[in-house]
Structure 1
Amino acid sequence: MKKITKKLFNSFFTSTLLLSSLPTLANEVSTAPTELGYFVSSVNNGGTHTANLYKLSSDGAASVVVENIFPDSTTSSFSATDYSVDTQKGKIYFLEPPRSGISTRRIRTFDIETNQFEGYKDISNLPGSGSPMFIDVPLKMEQLANKQCTTTNTTCSETDDHSVKIGGDDMEITITEEGMKVGNDNLIKKQDDGTIHIGKNSLITTNEEVNGVQPLYATDASGKRIPIDIQGSKLLINGRDVEQSINNVGALSAALTGLPTVPSDTTLACGVGTGTHGGDFAFSGGCASKVNESLSVNYAASIIMPGQDYAGDFEDKFSARAGFVWKLGKPVKPTLISMKEKKEFETQINTLEETNKQLLARLEKLEKVALGSIQSKDLASNKINFKSVNRDLKKIDFK
């Protein structure tokens, strides 16, 4: 019996022991999905046998992970009952062979994520003659995933409502054809009208577009539609910040309003301007030209200050306008006058006022003569320049 046992150990020892590849768990196990698994094999180093741990890739190539996995043991015997796999934590537990003169048995823990052994753990409360053999702890699948149905029979049929429940009683997630429920609260639910509700007080969309449009809206607990508030995050459309785009349009438009349109007293007018809206700034520049009495043109452009995040391409930060005014119909004499015309009128008015003063003074003297208040000698000494009076009277248009 002893020889048979020894042959079995040698058989397991000299052959490869494949350990099934562990499933990758998020943030826990980072083994590549293409690897086939691990195995332990014997190596003869000058008459000294050691057990090495290997990793087997998908192409069949073996690579050493750890040499001599039992450095403190006097034997290198290893069998299929000398290891256990923890699929939840990504660990492999190796049962160390008996050590010379030491009755306490140990297990050595291997971490698949780091590809290193973490140390030893003593096994206590074993009988002195005991020879432990590992048996993996059965995983109760009902605590992870349980496929169920709602039926009045003892078995499920195709017409019954099927569901998959994930997790235990403390936190159960139920997935049905209608959606997903966490505990008693609906996380995602599809209604009979085709709408898909996300959350308790729902963000709602539809399974298919409606008239070529995908609707999206929110409701409160009573089903009344309520606003959607994007809090603390930027709402982007094609990579552009929506709120910033609105402010940019306001700033660009405000900057353009500060530029000249149609000049009245010159043939060309140019200018620069600035505008702001919602904290965004824009600058503008442009000109307006009077080609003739009937045609005027204007052109201008404005641009947003550089350095904005999510502002889009150049054409999203630039605005321009151009137009012309073409007078149709019979020209109407303008009621407004230019500065040049105003100065000419003021000069003529001043001349007329001075002439009127001279005429008034002469008229007063004539009145005094007629009333006999001035002596004839005084009249003779006040000679009137009738040529000058006639010349001034001719300048006056009495029409």
Structure 2
Amino acid sequence: MLSFTPYENPMYFGILGLALLPIVIGILCGKRFHWYETLISVFFLVLTFGGPKITQGLALITYLVYEVLLVWVYTSYRKKNNQTGIFVATVILAIIPLVIVKLTPAIQEGKQAIIGFLGISYLTFKAVQTIMESRDGVLKDFSPWFFLQFLVFFPTISSGPIDRYRRFKRDYDHVPKQEKYFQLLQKGLHNIFMGFVYKYMLAYVFGTMWLPKLEHYALMAHGLSWSLVGVMYVYSMYLFFDFAGYSLFAIGTSYFMGIETPINFNAPFKSHNIKEFWNRWHMTLSFWFRDYIYMRLVFFFMKHKVFKSPKTTANVTYIINMTIMGFWHGVTWYYITYGILHGVALVVNDWWLRYKKGHPGKIPHNKFTEVFATFVTFNFVCFTFLLFSGFLNTMLIAK
């Protein structure tokens, strides 16, 4: 049986184009064929998780049954009751599979958890946010069958972007007007074309042609070198173009299906400060952490008066939030350090913005200072991406 990683093979795009054709014709005629959308979702899941990846496929099926039942039980319970303990227990139960997958390699020396599969993080984020929105009372109409459709929406299943239940449902239940759909088709085609440029041209140049050579020279230098500086910048460019290219494919495919999946990247390296960077980089992930971890921790700390100052509350929560993000990437010192550094940077950034606001006129603001701020932000981000890459860990082991 053939098995493809999404958007990694020319044949995958050929099959994708044929599969999308009936959907395009249907929407242009003012109809949605939900049965067909379900059919091709199953088909592409088999294509992704079949063959040599059948173990992942079985893990996916088990996970989906578990999460759908869990969220269904909680949303049914929430209609009549709202105990905090039950809510917390449900969230913990929802994230346990992901925690096992993340901790297993650290505990068992690189061994992968048998319950792991491509995209488990993003499905867990969707499940947790649905539980939290049900707890908040904003999600009143829950359908287990639709929730399953939401989880396994095949264009985004492996690496996002992370959509929201209610936003996705509005598009799923709605047939866009022909004029609107023509615009979606145009944007979808543009995104897919740019995805090819990003992933198969620019990411190839940075990640395949340049990065291995620079890493070799940096390892030969046994310490700080210009080659290591090159690794820092080249890896950062590769990471962006590879992931942004994938996201463009996923978004473009979604548009063809009449689903306006949110964008994930918005020129992040133009950011003037680190907070702006996180409003531009992997946006659906950073917004998820903001809405479902940061804001809820701030509310909890303020409600229970854990800290006297709102500034202290925000600062502590920044660091907790970004440290959790670091742990989510993996239980290694370089991922965790990456998260902590970004948390500290957000604290410093807020302090600097408050200082500028409190001392109007003392800090110049012009084109030069804007360029300088962008330069500082860009270099800080690239340095943390060097940490994130794990290459410094490789250098330490090589010594």
> What TM-score, normalized by structure 2, do the two folds share?
0.17
Which structure has the highest helix share of the two? 2
| Rg larger in structure | 1
| Structure with greater strand share of residues | 1
**Larger RCO of the pair (alpha carbons < 8 Å, separation 6+):** 2
